[in-house]
Copies of this chain bind each other. A is one copy, B any other.
Amino acid sequence: MAYELHYWPTIQGRGEFVRLALEAAGADYVDVARGRGKGQGVAASLRRMTAKRLVQPPFAPPFLVHGKHTIGQTAAILLYLGPRLGLVGKSEAARIWTHQLQLTVADVVAEVHETHHPIATSLYYEEQKKEAAKRAKAFREQRIPKFLDWFNTVLARNPAGSTWLVGARLSYADLSLFQLVDGLLYAFPKATQRALATTPHVVALHLRVGSHKRVAAYLGSTRRIAFNEDGIFRRYPELDA
């Protein structure tokens, strides 16, 4: 049974963490809001989310539909998909640790969104540029180095070696860290390069995931939406320095 991913069709956004997991595993899935068939497209996707018969309604996209399950929240979707796609270890300890890493990636992603929307999601960036400049400065100078240092430490301390974040195999946390670094390099190239200069394990992980056979094929395909200024990672040169 194919997985149905429901997410905004023109941005990577939070949906990209789910796309990467499905792609890396070679899973059979439909990116519903991007389809043109019957029951597809963004309107159909939103109708699905707001249907009154849904007893477990997602708060917002992305959400996954699989058989009778409808699951929202990126990290909860990956909690569900991880074991099914072979993207998490079998032990409870490995699953909780992988999830902890994912939740920390999610924290950074939320902070990235705040750099261009520090006042309100309902306003345009242009309406909060002054505040965004201040917020982005703190994010660049304090938060990017702190988060990337932590992930570097996690890789350095992995008893199975620094190849992957958890144990000796690719997990969804590796895919998510790849996406985080990729997005940071797009949005804040100067600040991110500075932080990566002292976090070599993170650099190596980013390259390793990007050259994973199925991930590389995905990144080179039209299924990978390009970064753009409607997504979470936006390149506003005035916010980088």
Contacts and interface: CB of A to CB of B under 8 A. Distances in A.
A119 B120 contact: no
With a 10 A CB-CB cut-off, give which of A59, A96, A135, A153 has the most chain B CB atoms: A59
Given A55-B159, A57-B157, A150-B59, A119 B99 contact: no
A100 interface: yes
A54 B54 CA distance: 43
A158 B76 contact: no
Count of identical protomers in the assembly: 2
Given A76-B96, A93-B69, A110-B110, A55 B138 contact: no
Given A122-B138, A134-B119, A138-B122, A73 B100 contact: yes
A42 interface: no
Contacts of A96: 69, 71, 76, 79-80
A38 to B, nearest CB: 27
A131 interface: yes
A72 B138 CA distance: 24
Contacts of A100: 56, 58, 71-73, 76
A131 to B, nearest CB: 5
A97 B56 contact: yes
Interface residues of A, number: 43
A170 to B, nearest CB: 18
A218 B158 CA distance: 39
A79 B59 contact: no
B131 A119 contact: yes
Contacts of A72: 100
Contacts of A57: 150, 153-154, 157
A45 to B, nearest CB: 18
Interface in A112-137: 114, 118-123, 131, 134-135
